[in-house]
Every structure is written in C-alpha cells, then in structure tokens.
Structure 1
Amino acid sequence: MKNFICCVALLGFGANLLVNSPSTANEFLINSEIAQTIKSEEFIARGTEPFWSVIVTKKGIVYSSPDVQKQTFSYVPPLKAEARPADLVRVYRLQGKGNNVLILKKIDSCSDGMSDREYPYSAIFILGNKVLEGCADKK
C-alpha cells in the first residue's frame, strides 16, 4: 500500500511539472510565431496586360515578365504603415538603379481581370519609370 501511495504521489508531481511547464507551451507559441512570420513574408504578386510577376521570399525578390529578362533583388524587410496592423500595408524598397518599389495592401478582394480568382492583396510594382498594377497572395 505504501508503494502504491508513493507511485501515485510521484505521478501527480510529474504531471504537475508537465502541466505547469512554461517552456513547452512557450516554445510552441514562439516557434509558431516565427513560422508564421517567415511564411507571412512570402508573397506572389502578379498582373495582366502586360503579364508580370514578383515573388518575394527571404532569399530574394524576383521580377519576371515575358518581355523582360528576369531581375533579382536582395530581400529587404518591408516598411509597414504606422499605427496599423503589420499585415495591412507592406512596402518593399528594391535596391538597384532607379526607384524600384513593390507595394502590397491588404484589401477585401482583388481581381486579376482574367480569371475568377480573388486575391487578398492589391499590388503596385514600380520598376524605374514603369508602374504595374496587379494582385497578390501569400505564397
């Protein structure tokens, strides 16, 4: 009987450590937030007439179009709107010659004009003197 009581006491003590262990729950939340932040930085913006796309990842930002040779820019963290949710507006300043900028804004829906697909972001891509408008989605 004493052995049984000791086992129950030890099991209860061990369970209490697991339930009240902040590191396990916090590690999960922190890792989930990091994964979400990394994922939320990956976008595909695209437009029609003319056709173009910009892929944003931590590895780089790539612009492509059937008319132009693919251009790759270094990834830079986006500017965000002051006093607004971080996911509302993102402005990527692309390094290189000219004023190259990608602006993504979360909206109710954006249509590419060619398909029935609705996108959650509008996109404006400025490459030198060229301004392209389209839609974007998280990758």
Structure 2
Amino acid sequence: MKHAFRHACLAALLTLTACADRVAPDEITLPARAQQSEDWSRFLPALYPGLMACLNAHPAQPARADDVVPQNHGMILVRVTGADGASTDCQAGSGGTPAPRLEPAETRPLKGPAFTPATMAEPFAPCFLPEPVLTRDGRLLGWLSYRRPDCERGQTPVLQDNWRVFGNEPFWTVRIASDGIVLDRLGDLPRRYPAAPPESGERRRSWVVDPPDGNARDRLEVIITDRPCSDSMADRQYYHSAEVMFGGQTLHGCAERAAPIP
C-alpha cells in the first residue's frame, strides 16, 4: 500500500510539473545558432515537453540535459545529469507521453548541445557558449550550450567571477566572463566588449568598458550589489541586484554567478 501511494504521489507531482512546463512549440524562440544547426537543438520546440519531463523525473533536482537523441515513433533519449552529478538515460515521448523512464546511463558519444533549464544558474564552461532560449514574450526557458570550434578544452581557465546579469520586459542579459563581456537585448544584435576586472567595494562590484572601436557613446557600465532581487517572470529569488547603463538608458535587473559545468 505504501509503495502504491508513493507511486501515485510521484505521478501527481510529475503531472503538475509538466503543466507548469507546458509551452506551445510556436511560443518558443530559438537562438540563431539553433535555427541553423544540424543537431537536435533545431527541433527543441517540438521536443520541449518530453525534454522537460525527463529533467523533472531525475531524483536530484534541478537537472540538466547533456544530450538529446530523437528516436523513432516520436520518442527521445535524453542524457540527464542531476544536482548530485549522477547521470541517467531517460526515454520519453517527445510530447511528454509516454511518461519518462529512467535507465542506467550507457557509454555513448554525447554530441550535444547541452540544455540547462532556467531553474538553474546560467552554465559556464571553457570552450562553450550558452545561447538563451526564450518564449515569444521574453520569458527565459534555459540555455543551449554549444562548443566553440576555436577553443581546446583547458585553454581558457574557469574563473570564479563569471556573472549573468539580466532583466525582463523585454528580455536583456549581460554575460561577464574571462574572455569578454556581451550585452544581448531582445531584437538587437549582441554587443561584445573586451574583458575587464571589476572594481570592488563594500557589497558591490562594477565594470566600465568601452567597445573595441573606442566609441564612448556605446560605453557599458554594470553594477552588481549584494541585495536580494526577485525575477517575477521566472518566480525566482536571487542574492544580487544589478544596474546596467548603456546608450542613455538604465536597466534594472538581477544577477547570479555563472555555474561551472564539466
């Protein structure tokens, strides 16, 4: 009886989670890299329900997908890694049914890209670039991490001061890493700035950088303070608030340290 009750509770929990993650395929906006790719990521809108069902089925939450393989008869095979670092293979219907089934992870090449849901911190790893996946109204669903072809593993050190600064309505983000700073706004091309060390003060850190052409009108200033911040779109709380000054505008948002992944 106890086992039956436990299975009933798990089924109910997965149903509720699936409802929360339900997004229509035509509501998902893929980054340009995914639209032009020949890997599984170009099919992400159609695979999203099954992918999220597999991520939510891992016993150690939150979990990410290291690889997705579309299969026959509308099924997908997902390599899922949980918060405890343990990996499993998950089979599920691309639309969420049949329900996910977890199996021991088999040794096989992982072609990627990886998918990290928005319930986790933005991933950071040497030689990988995270591309945000959004809904049409600018809600962040997660990141697709693509390998950089010009980088060898171990070439770029993983530093502890990599940040994601972001806001909504419309969506914008600033990525601060050892190889540069990128301002990305919905509907605009990404603007890239050279890497720069922060100026640190009491409970705050700031960056002031000019673009490579030296045009002061495109100067970017980022201030991160140790003050709680709420992201209403994702219903999450963060430990850091942020201000970004660019082009005569001041953007207000949240910030978090990027999470290193293997």
- The CA deviation at 1:78 is 0.8
- The CA deviation at 1:115 is 2.0
Instruction: Please report the TM-score for the alignment, with normalisation by the length of structure 2.
Output: 0.35
- The alignment status of 1:73 with 2:197, answered yes or no, reads no
Identify which of 234, 243, 247 aligns with 1:115.
234
Within 5 Å, give how 1:11-50 maps onto structure 2. 38-39=159-160, 41-50=161-170
Deviations 1:9-52 (A, max 9, x none): xxxxxxxxxxxxxxxxxxxxxxxxxx99x21x100011001210
Deviations 1:32-73 (A, max 9, x none): xxx99x21x100011001210011001000111112110010
Q: Which amino acid is the alignment partner of residue 204 of structure 2?
A: V
Task: Quote the residue 2:247 is aligned against.
Answer: 128
- The CA deviation at 1:106 is 1.0
Q: Share of identical aligned residues, percent?
A: 28
Structure 1 unmatched runs, 5+: 1-34
- The CA deviation at 1:105 is 0.6
- The CA deviation at 1:122 is 0.5
Higher RCO by CA contacts (8 Å cutoff, separation 6 or greater): 1
In structure 2, distance between residues paired with 1:129 and 1:70: 17
SS in 1 for 2:195: coil
Task: Quote the residue 1:91 is aligned against.
Answer: 206
Q: Which amino acid is the alignment partner of residue 185 of structure 2?
A: S
Task: Provide the alpha-carbon RMSD of the alignment.
Answer: 1.7
Question: Larger % of helix: which?
Answer: 1
Instruction: Please report the TM-score for the alignment, with normalisation by the length of structure 1.
Output: 0.65
SS in 2 for 1:133: strand
In structure 2, distance between residues paired with 1:128 and 1:75: 19
Q: Which amino acid is the alignment partner of residue 50 of structure 1?
A: P
Aligned length: 97
